Structure 1
Amino acid sequence: MPDQKENVILQLSSALNNYNIPYFFINETALWLQGALTELDSIAISVQWDGFESVTKELNNRYGGSIPIHSTDRSCVVYEIDGYMVNVECTYNTVVRTNPYLIEVPFNDHTIPCLSLYYYQPFPKWTKIVNEHLKTMQDNMTEQNQVSWNQQNYEALLNRFGSPQEAAVKLKENPTGRLKSLIPYLPPLEGKQVANLMGSHGMKATSMGLLGADVTVIDFSYENERYAKELAVASGVTISYYVSDILKLGPEHNGKFDVVVMELGILHYFLDLHPLFKVVKRLLSPEGTFILQDFHPVSTKLITSKGKKHKVDGNYFDPSIHKIGVAYEKHLSSEDGNVVLQRKWTLGEVLTSMADESLIIRQVVEEPNIKLNDRGIPKVFTVKAMKQ
């Protein structure tokens, strides 16, 4: 059974839906709805500004008269509903439905609109609360993802690449082939200390080892480690492999690496990019190079493609966290897939988070899809940055 405050929130949500007035819950209410706060003493909601008078009229009829307060940029009105103070406000000349931080959260068999906790993260009043909640969520998310990536992944790698011995034959014939997209950004690798973060099955790491690098892979999957080590041995190179949550690495790796590489399908496993880029900076030696290559958010967040047809049906700015099947499930013989959690980032969020951690961005390259029908759509982006 919903408690009193939950009933008030559901009442307000139902009423505003019936009035057809756009709205979302804000401030402490939004953070409580997303689990960042455990206590809630009052309720705050923002409505579409040109519907404010209609809302107050309806709410006055339902909950008793209250006089709005107006300022140069907003209006607000306060009600007492079932023992809770409810603040209803609007901000002039803004559009509720197009706010980039608007999300829908599950709530007692309903979905409730509110501002994402990422909106509140920069505000000093809420920064600590949001960061602590994101860290807790990240720990839980990593634990769940780790479980998923340690189930049947070795089987999927065998189905995808063949045995490590078979894959090694191809790598030794052409080690740069696996690094084709990274080669323009990498320094000469002979004698370099390289960290391949979330290095997965070790294809890139082994290729860099064949080119003379001393490579360390850091990844949270034992099954990835098994395949990668077998691949390296079969290729005649030695790689170090640490099975670890990147965000919990100890200080023994600090300042060790000339190059840190992350590539393709990595960033969405992090709910906050700042702790990740803090680690990257910590791992790099002075003037070390960081190469980040990932799928372009225009392709992952905005556009869906099928053959020659492209549809803009996504929300580029959506800050929601989603459940999806693991990337390797299409290579499994069984139909029992595993679920992971992901948070997809805009290009601006990625670059800003790197700059916030004092990584000096030297190069940003956006590359088109190689398929003829998709050539006008960015497929991947690459960032080259350095530690001061």
Structure 2
Amino acid sequence: IQLARHLSEQLRIPAQFIHANIYDLPGHLDGEFDVVYTSYGVINWLHDIEGWAEIVSHYLKPGGTFYMAEFHPFMWVFEQEGEDLVVRYSYWHSREPSYYEVQGSYADRDAFIENRGTYEWAHPISRIINSLIGAGLTLKEFREYPYSVDEIYSNMETGDDGYRRFKRKDYQLPLMFSVKAVKPA
């Protein structure tokens, strides 16, 4: 956050950076916005997807747009064994998180991380979309993609377009998705 604030000042780009639990955000940030965005690798850290959708709706102006680009939850059911993918995890949501030991971080896979444990929740596509609809948003577009912005598995390769795909052409799986929704005016 300090670095972001420093860059904002240095580049003379006005911005506000807040460090808060998403569910506590209404106590730290006022206002409504034209656009609310959720980026890659967010929802698996959230235990209450319906609460997240309510926060999204809370901050959208009437007529405002919500956009989300995220890794497809289906891809998290697999574990790589050699060049193959094997089903290891549930696609369906559970109140209890899954616990994993990880190497490195999403930003640097070789980084030393003292606390390597991570707790994550699965949220199927239907639950994500229905939580947004339940929070009063109107779904405008839903897309799935057979490629990824990140090398999720080591049996992937980078194409000329910069996206990662499985080396095995028979692995045509959804790896990312996007959602566009609006808050009715």
TM (norm. structure 2) is 0.75
Paired with 2:116 and 2:2, the residues of 1 have a C-alpha distance of 19
Contact 1:307 1:373 (C-alpha < 8 Å) held by counterparts: no
- TM superposition shift of 1:228: 2.2
Contact 1:293 1:380 (C-alpha < 8 Å) held by counterparts: yes
| Match of residue 330 from structure 1 | 109
- TM superposition shift of 1:372: 4.4
- TM superposition shift of 1:312: 2.5
Max Rg structure: 1
Paired with 1:325 and 1:241, the residues of 2 have a C-alpha distance of 30
Amino acid at match of 1:371: R
Structure 1: segments with no counterpart, 5+ residues:
1-224
| Match of residue 253 from structure 1 | 30
Which one of the candidate residues 86, 90, 99 is aligned to 1:315?
Answer: 90
- TM-superposition CA deviations, 1:107-153 (whole Å, max 9, x none): xxxxxxxxxxxxxxxxxxxxxxxxxxxxxxxxxxxxxxxxxxxxxxx
Contact 2:92 2:122 (C-alpha < 8 Å) held by counterparts: no
**Per the alignment, in what secondary structure is the counterpart of residue 115 of structure 2?**
coil
Which one of the candidate residues 61, 73, 81 is aligned to 1:285?
Answer: 61
- TM superposition shift of 1:351: 0.9
- TM superposition shift of 1:303: 2.1
Greater helix proportion: 1
- TM superposition shift of 1:338: 4.2
Structure 2: segments with no counterpart, 5+ residues:
148-163
**Per the alignment, in what secondary structure is the counterpart of residue 243 of structure 1?**
coil
Paired with 1:331 and 1:229, the residues of 2 have a C-alpha distance of 27
Contact 2:91 2:122 (C-alpha < 8 Å) held by counterparts: no
| Match of residue 167 from structure 2 | 373
Paired with 2:93 and 2:33, the residues of 1 have a C-alpha distance of 34
- TM superposition shift of 1:357: 1.1
Amino acid at match of 2:30: H
| Cα separation, partners in 2 of 1:313 and 1:258, compared to 1, 3 Å | same
Which one of the candidate residues 352, 360, 367 is aligned to 2:138?
Answer: 360
Contact 2:36 2:65 (C-alpha < 8 Å) held by counterparts: yes
Does residue 239 of the first structure (1) align with residue 15 of the second (2)? yes
Paired with 1:372 and 1:275, the residues of 2 have a C-alpha distance of 34
- TM-superposition CA deviations, 1:181-209 (whole Å, max 9, x none): xxxxxxxxxxxxxxxxxxxxxxxxxxxxx
Contact 1:295 1:380 (C-alpha < 8 Å) held by counterparts: yes
- TM superposition shift of 1:318: 5.1
| Match of residue 385 from structure 1 | 181
Instruction: Provide the aligned length of Structure 1 versus Structure 2.
Output: 161
Paired with 1:278 and 1:335, the residues of 2 have a C-alpha distance of 33
Give matches, 1:52-201, under 5 Å.
none
Amino acid at match of 2:68: L
Identity of aligned residues (%): 21
Paired with 1:308 and 1:323, the residues of 2 have a C-alpha distance of 24
- TM-superposition CA deviations, 1:304-335 (whole Å, max 9, x none): 33564222333222524122357457353x45
